[in-house]
Amino acid sequence: MINSSSVFRRHRASVKVYVPKVSRDNHYLIAEMPLTDKLIELVVGKIDTSEDKPYQKFYQKLGRLALNAVEECDIAHANFVANNRLVRVRHNEEQQVLHTEKQSFFFYSPLHNSTFKGYFDGAVRSNKIKFLFLATGDNLREDAAEFHEKVISAVELISTRIGLEKDDLKVRDHQHLTYDIFARQKGNKESITHTFREISARYLHQGYPVPETASAITYAVVSMPMTRRLLKDTKIDYDAEKPFEVLYEKISAAFTNAVEKHHLKHATMLANGMSPIVRLDKEKQTIINGDIISLGYDPEEEGADISSQWEGDKLVDTVQLIFCATNSDETHNTYGKFVNTVTQAINTMAEDLNWNKERDYLLMRLNQQLLRRI
């Protein structure tokens, strides 16, 4: 007879995830609100739209108000953004901000970067106001709940001082863990253990409960570079109208086979040069805005939703593989099983594509996101 406690221990062990010690953490929160006439009135009163930069004083005053709140709440790194661009955050040792037509990329290291800066054009009325709060320190995961509460305190302070109504501000808590799935094959043998507990459950355990009205989504994005090996192993007719169609069909077939073999429910392959964002959406809509593709997933939907999108006449630098967790992927408030299953699917796909694990990377970014209103 098998002891029930040993069965439980084995089950719990099965949802642990061993990730390379060289993995990178990011934690940030974005508070946003629409830029309405009412908001302008509350901050600076009437403005003269005939001026060259009619919104300059509004942005400056709102930025100062936010900076004061940030300092009072002891937050080291924050930004004020009003430029009609999507905010992206990535880990990098060198602190810098890069702007494309539709996106603003904030590169920073949690270990040694801290600043407060505004990004706006006083001549342009932005659609939204965003406050970006970046976690700092060397224990982001352990300190996540405390940082979340600091940010919520700052956002509430900003809201109160402006005179906003309740729920006018929407706050998204983002937590990333990024690593090469084949880091071990490249000699990085040391690993650390994660269970990927659901954010609200982790915060509650640490004494910081979040409202029951908050919603959450968990997903993984795997970046596959377009390697020379992939191209050489495919018979490509470069004189054809869509020369890369056969290449993407091959990658898509390997992707679909891996997803179905490992029983993943919501997955998308992108090879069209677009930058994906993932959001919780009951309608599961796909929205394209310039070079951004917004993928809506419903974690409560258990039916299979597997798709591939590409442009056969365009050779992309990177193929993006997106996997969204469903509610059934969460066990005992953790997503460890989901992460392990995605890893197994990528291994299957790599074998089908003759991937060089010792040299070429497959970068996985695990994302957990919590949405609440203030």
pLDDT in tens, 105-124: 999 999 887 888 999 999 99
Return d(Cα 169, Cα 305) in angstroms, integer. Answer: 32
Return d(Cα 344, Cα 357) in angstroms, integer. Answer: 14
Contact, 123 vs 54, CB < 8 A? Answer: yes
Task: Read off the pLDDT of each residue in 118-146 and give the average, rounded to a whole number.
Answer: 95
pLDDT at residue 5 is higher than 60: no
The pLDDT, as a whole number, for residue 299 is 93
- Alpha helices (H) along 126-233: 144-162, 199-205, 228-232
Give the Cα-Cα-Cα angle 355, 359, 362 (nearest 5 degrees): 60
Cα four-point dihedral sign 264, 29, 127, 117: negative
Q: Which two tokens stand for residue 119?
A: 């990004």
The pLDDT, as a whole number, for residue 11 is 44
Q: Which two tokens stand for residue 220?
A: 């993984």
Return d(Cα 339, Cα 345) in angstroms, integer. Answer: 10
Measure CA 169 to chain center: 20
- Percentage of the residues of the chain whose pLDDT score is greater than 90: 85
pLDDT at residue 17 is higher than 80: yes
pTM of the model: 0.92
Contact, 240 vs 259, CB < 8 A? Answer: no
Q: What is the DSSP letter of 112?
A: T
Task: Read off the pLDDT of each residue in 305-312 and give the average, rounded to a whole number.
Answer: 96
The pLDDT, as a whole number, for residue 195 is 86
Return d(Cα 243, Cα 251) in angstroms, integer. Answer: 14
Task: Read off the pLDDT of each residue in 163-168 and give the average, rounded to a whole number.
Answer: 91
pLDDT at residue 344 is higher than 80: yes
pLDDT at residue 346 is higher than 50: yes
Task: Read off the pLDDT of each residue in 266-270 and give the average, rounded to a whole number.
Answer: 97
The pLDDT, as a whole number, for residue 93 is 86
Higher-pLDDT residue of 40 and 8 is 40
Tell me, what amino acid is at 295? L
Tell me, what amino acid is at 163? G
Edge to edge, what strands does the sheet with 96-99 contain?
Answer: 86-91, 103-108, 96-99
Higher-pLDDT residue of 8 and 184 is 184
Task: Read off the pLDDT of each residue in 63-84 and give the average, rounded to a whole number.
Answer: 96
Higher-pLDDT residue of 138 and 10 is 138
Pick left, alpha or beta for residue 333 (phi over 0 → left; psi -120 to 50 → alpha; otherwise beta): left
Torsion of CA 16, 18, 23, 24, to 10 degrees: 0
**142 contact partners, CB below 8 Å, separation of at least 6:** none
Higher-pLDDT residue of 92 and 84 is 84
Task: Read off the pLDDT of each residue in 315-323 and give the average, rounded to a whole number.
Answer: 98
Contact, 374 vs 171, CB < 8 A? Answer: yes
pLDDT at residue 158 is higher than 80: yes
Measure CA 170 to chain center: 16
Model confidence band, residue 12 (pLDDT cutoffs 50, 70, 90): very low
The pLDDT, as a whole number, for residue 3 is 44
The pLDDT, as a whole number, for residue 8 is 39
Which residue is it, tokens 């910081």?
208
Contact, 371 vs 172, CB < 8 A? Answer: yes
Task: Read off the pLDDT of each residue in 4-24 and give the average, rounded to a whole number.
Answer: 66
Mean pLDDT of the chain: 93
Task: Read off the pLDDT of each residue in 23-52 and give the average, rounded to a whole number.
Answer: 96
Angle separating helix axes 4-14 and 336-352, nearest 10 degrees? 60
Return d(Cα 167, Cα 33) in angstroms, integer. Answer: 10
Model confidence band, residue 334 (pLDDT cutoffs 50, 70, 90): confident
Return d(Cα 241, Cα 311) in angstroms, integer. Answer: 11
Which residue is it, tokens 């630098």?
317
The pLDDT, as a whole number, for residue 167 is 87
The pLDDT, as a whole number, for residue 2 is 37
Return d(Cα 254, Cα 351) in angstroms, integer. Answer: 9
Task: Read off the pLDDT of each residue in 247-266 and give the average, rounded to a whole number.
Answer: 98
Q: Which two tokens stand for residue 165?
A: 């109504």
